[in-house]
């Protein structure tokens, strides 16, 4: 049985449409107009034990709403979901002890207490034995390099140190499912790398299901073998990260080094991204890569040539743009 399974999960919010100005506010006292907003629309997927899944989408796509429903914070409008065999919004204690939700923009630790006391409070809530608690905290703080920060007030910790403590609090009770919503938001490069290394190691050792939302594509590339992409509440891709480039990238990047100065233009071969007297970087359609390489080797004294896939971030950005354009066209046709 899958650790997480959803079928037709849907969440509709009813929002009030206020007319502009004071007169609009007065009119709203007597008569209000509402509209339904589908934050999540017929979402279905399943995740097996040990999978590390990236959950991607532009702002407002429905990612956080899905995570909140899977963690029991929200009730769906329709559809079903099972997490570890439990219905999340029934909020049974057995399930609560087996999952964690870490949101990068929400504080889970007590702001005016030392981090150690916040963790101790979590220990009492989850009923963790003292000896096991000390072992877990000792191991996690050492891995994240924050052992010397346990007695520091949470409000006095840097953002990176606080996020590491939040992560320790989320893993204190050894959950089987971990939901991470922008865990590296606002962190510096060093802290991001440390958190990524920790998550990779922890997932590999404990085989817990991890769902990660992030706008930092390096998080996704380094941690996730599979990605689910959602936009306007609907899933439109679910598969290996490598398949995104295979399916959606329309071009490749050619880097060439020359034995001597070359002044000729290269626009006939593709889009020139960068050019120096003895090198050029070209953006070439995937279907024309072989013939372009052959033509360049014949036309110039090439000392080195490399063919690269475009950055995943660029492909995802292009994918979101194309999908938004498709939706705009569909809406225009529907109105017509």
Instruction: Count structural domains, the chain.
Output: 2
Residue 100 token pair? 């964690």
The pair of three-digit structure tokens given for residue 121, joined into one six-digit string:
């409070």
198 within domain boundaries = yes
**CATH number (domain holding residue 22):** 3.40.50.300
Same domain, 46 and 117: yes
Start-to-end Cα distance in the chain: 46
Do the domain assignments include residue 109? Answer: yes
Question: Tokens standing for 24?
Answer: 């609009």
- Based on the fold, state whether residues 277 and 144 are members of the same structural domain: no
260-to-274, 283, 301 alpha-carbon distances in Å: 17, 22, 7
pLDDT computed for residue 336 by the predictor: 65
The model's pTM:
0.79
Q: Where a domain ends, among 200, 230, 245?
A: 245
Q: Is residue 135 part of a domain?
A: yes
223 and 277 together in one domain: no
The tens place of each residue's pLDDT in the chain, 336 residues long, gives 689 999 999 999 887 777 777 776 777 777 777 788 888 999 999 999 999 999 988 888 889 999 999 999 999 999 999 999 999 999 998 998 899 998 877 777 888 889 999 899 889 988 899 999 999 999 999 888 889 999 999 889 888 888 889 999 999 999 999 999 888 877 888 888 888 888 999 998 899 999 999 888 888 888 998 999 988 888 988 988 888 877 777 888 999 999 888 888 888 898 899 988 889 999 998 888 999 999 988 888 889 999 988 877 777 777 777 766 777 676 677 676
Same structural domain for residues 299 and 227? no
Are residues 157 and 106 part of one domain? Answer: yes
**Residues 230 and 280 placed together within one structural domain of the fold:** no
Domain boundary among 245, 277, 296: 245
**Residues 80, 182 within the same domain:** yes
The answer to whether residue 335 sits within a structural domain is no
Assigned token pair, 138: 């000792």
Q: Which residues pair with 285 in a beta bridge?
A: 251
| Rounded Cα distance, 45 and 265, in Å | 49
Residue 315 lies in a domain: no
The enclosing H or E element of 283 equals strand 279-285
Does some domain include residue 329? Answer: no
Instruction: Find the CATH number of the domain harbouring 295.
Output: 3.30.70
Q: Do 191 and 260 belong to one domain?
A: no
Domain annotation covers residue 318: no
CA distance 134 to 137: 5
Domain range holding 279?
A: 250-308
Strand partners, 276: 279
CA atoms within 13 A on the CB side of 55: 27
CB atoms within 10 A of CB 1: 9
Whether 295 is in a domain gets the answer yes
Pair 191, 94 in one domain: yes
Interatomic CA distance for residues 310 and 307, integer angstroms: 10
Assess whether 170 and 84 both reside in one domain.
yes
Is 255 found in the same domain as 226?
no
Residues 27 and 137 grouped into a single domain = yes
């Amino acid at each position: 049985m899958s650790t997480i399974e959803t079928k037709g999960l849907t969440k509709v919010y009813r929002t009030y449409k206020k007319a502009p100005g004071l007169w609009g506010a007065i009119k709203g006292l007597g008569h209000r107009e509402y509209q339904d907003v589908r934050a999540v629309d017929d979402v279905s997927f399943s995740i097996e034990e040990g999978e590390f899944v990236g959950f991607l989408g532009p702002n407002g796509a429905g990612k956080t709403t899905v995570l909140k429903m899977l963690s029991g914070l929200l009730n769906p409008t329709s559809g079903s979901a099972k997490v570890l065999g439990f219905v999340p919004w029934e909020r049974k204690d057995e399930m609560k002890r087996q999952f964690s939700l870490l949101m990068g923009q929400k504080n889970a630790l007590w702001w005016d207490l030392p981090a150690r006391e916040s963790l101790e409070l979590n220990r009492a809530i989850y009923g963790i034995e003292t000896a096991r608690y000390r072992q877990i905290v000792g191991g996690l703080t050492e891995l994240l390099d924050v052992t010397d920060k346990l007695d520091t007030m949470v409000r006095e910790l840097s953002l990176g140190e606080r996020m590491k403590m939040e992560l320790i609090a989320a893993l204190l009770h050894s959950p089987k499912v971990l939901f991470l919503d922008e865990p590296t938001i606002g962190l510096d490069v060093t802290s991001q790398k440390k958190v990524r290394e920790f998550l990779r190691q922890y997932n590999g050792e404990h085989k817990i299901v991890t769902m990660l939302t992030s706008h930092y594509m390096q998080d996704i590339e380094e941690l996730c073998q599979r990605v689910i992409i959602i936009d306007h509440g609907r899933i439109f891709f679910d598969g290996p990260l490598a398949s995104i480039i295979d399916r959606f990238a329309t071009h490749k990047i050619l880097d060439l080094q020359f034995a001597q100065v070359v002044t000729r233009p290269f626009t006939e071969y593709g889009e020139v991204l960068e050019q120096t007297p003895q090198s050029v970087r070209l953006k070439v359609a995937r279907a024309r890569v072989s013939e372009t390489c052959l033509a360049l080797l014949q036309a110039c004294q090439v000392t080195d040539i490399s063919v690269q896939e475009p950055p995943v971030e660029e492909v995802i950005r292009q994918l979101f743009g194309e999908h938004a354009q498709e939706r705009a066209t569909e809406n225009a046709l529907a109105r017509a």
